[in-house]
Chains A and B, each alone.
Chain A
Amino acid sequence: MRSIPYAGQIRGVVFVAALASLPSFNLAHWSINIAVFTLMFAVMSSAWNLFGGFTGYPSLGHAAFFGIGAYTLGLWFEHHAVTTGYEPFLMLPLVGLFAGLIGVVLGAIALRTRADVFAIVTITLLFVVQTLAFNLRGLTHGAQGLALPIPPFAAATFERPFYYVLVALLAATMAITYLTMRSKLGLSLAAVRADEDKARGVGVRTLGVKLLTFSVSVGITAMVGGIWAYYESFIYPQFAIDPLITIGMVLMTFLGGRGTLWGPVIGALILETAQQTLAYELGGSEYYLIAYALVFLLVMLLMPQGIVPSIQSVVRRRRRRAVVDAPGPPPSASSSDRTDVLTRDAVVVEGPR
């Protein structure tokens, strides 16, 4: 594991502190509500990116685990009382662990396929789980839906506990992503994405690294599902296991830049905020969907690689130009041949270009 640069630590702390301070500005309920949903998608996109972005495997079944998380929490609190209101949050790590274990079992089968076949297998998984949620009425109550305890929080600050838990989960997910990028695991994932057969040839245990990241990724997604279920207090199969949730995660990750730390978060901040705000502004007319599509098209036209990789390549080009245009003699052979460029700490994994 490489040490974390000072600038990276500062950026992370400032970002989390800024997010945590947002509710103290006494924003309207609808603003905090948008922030809660934006954070949910920021966490889920980051989780999807951890697997799909770094390995290049197009998982379309993550919403199944969102639903598994929602139903796991819901079913648990069908039989257990909530007193302080914080018990469901304390259960989240167990929800994540349970979904992660299911992810190991299902991943061991699905990850034997690749590319478009993997996409088909995972989206099939999503519909299988949705069908089970509809039909296992004794367990899930089927289409009637499942009620969760109403959170006993004060109406004036009702959203805040959810908001803070999501900030903590986002910070944890980004920390996991960052540490992965700077570790041997990150290098393994980059090799799998580049060429899985070659990766196996140099000694990467490809199935193992894919399974590990898949289970962590779906575990985090399930935790968000649990938070969502508690926030909504009532869940239906068609909303808890909704293909649009997966599509949202994937779109946000691609918009921000897959295989990057900040890309999925930026993608979620733009798309989810735009979607929710436009829905509020344009109401039930559904014109907001047109505006939402326009935002997405505009960014993809201007930055087809995604926002973060596009900015990174502009910065890289400018730096190169600055070196070329700099007055004085060109860099000496001794400086250009310094081997520390090979060995000094630097982020290993970069998004595909």
Chain B
Amino acid sequence: MDQLLSLTGVVAGYGAGDILKGVDLAVSDGTVTCLIGPNGAGKSTVLKCVSGLIRPSSGTVRFRGDEISRLSPRARLLLGVVHVPQDRSLFPAMTVRDNLLMGGYVMRDQKAVRQRMEEVAEVFPICVRRARDHAGSLSGGEQKQVELARTLVLNPRLILLDEPSIGLDPKSRQLVFSSIRRLAETGRTVLLVEQNARSGLAASDFGAVLEGGVVRLAATGKSLLDDPEVARLYVGAGSSSVSSGVGAPPPPATTDGAP
């Protein structure tokens, strides 16, 4: 599998303090990768470094082999890197239709935007059913679906999802994770951050555990779910056995194979 995104020794943070202390991570094309870890580990900061909302003080971020660490968020958007932040990113006072139009805002060809909207509507029919309703009148799960649909209008290569299931009821959560799988089926690469490690890893091809600003472990989603230490610390299953990966010095982190 080709490598779409790679982070090497990324150090970044807010103000004087560094949150990320040398993150190494690789994401393969056409896969879903889930970042898990405790609060404050720097999961959202990794996404911000990739989308350009934060510039790393050292290290490199490569997208399709090209260094993008110094590019603006808009330039990265045009390259096909779309960030869906943790907070609701829709415009609640605008209709679903206008929110979709905003998804293709940076595209010059308005005909192409409309064509993309039609294609997206086939993947997310809610966009047609609720086209004229204000986004704020939709349920949390529906809003998340529209957010995901909006990211597709730009025909992105890489979608960064920050806690997509936060604040959702179980049914809506299920809807969101099945939507993420649908994104992967359409050939997109997804890098998601998720507190609900069980659901996140189950929906992902690969996973990585971030702790103290570095990637401690990276493996397939299934093997992380089966790892007793990961299960005990992040998934909530009881286990006393200690895994070789978590807590040990970081192995070369890659999500396109075994750790």
Contact = CB atoms under 8 A, between A and B. Distances in A.
Interface of A: 184, 187-188, 190-191, 193-195, 198-199, 201-204, 336-339, 341-343, 348, 350, 352-353
A34 B110 CA distance: 45
Nearest to A205: B74
A302 B95 CA distance: 26
Interface stretch (B32-40, B127-135, B165-173, B233-241): B127-135
A201 B118 contact: no
B128 A339 contact: yes
Contacts of A337: 121, 125, 128-129
A180 to B, nearest CB: 14
A345 to B, nearest CB: 10
Contacts of A195: 91
Contact of A193 (B73, B93, B100, B134): B93
Interface residues of B, number: 32
A185 to B, nearest CB: 11
Contact of B118 (A199, A343, A348): A343
Contacts of A187: 98, 101-102, 105
Interface of B: 73-74, 77, 83, 85, 89, 91-95, 97-98, 100-103, 105-106, 110, 114, 117-118, 121-122, 125, 127-129, 131-132, 134
A352 B93 contact: yes
Contacts of A203: 74, 77, 105-106
A264 to B, nearest CB: 20
Contact of A194 (B85, B92, B114): B92
Given A198-B91, A353-B134, A339 B97 contact: no
Contacts of A190: 91, 94, 98
A346 to B, nearest CB: 8
A348 B99 CA distance: 11
B89 A342 contact: no
A341 B102 contact: no
A194 B117 contact: no
A6 B116 CA distance: 27
A184 B110 contact: yes
Contact of A201 (B89, B92, B100): B89
Contacts of A199: 91, 102
Contacts of A201: 73, 83, 85, 89
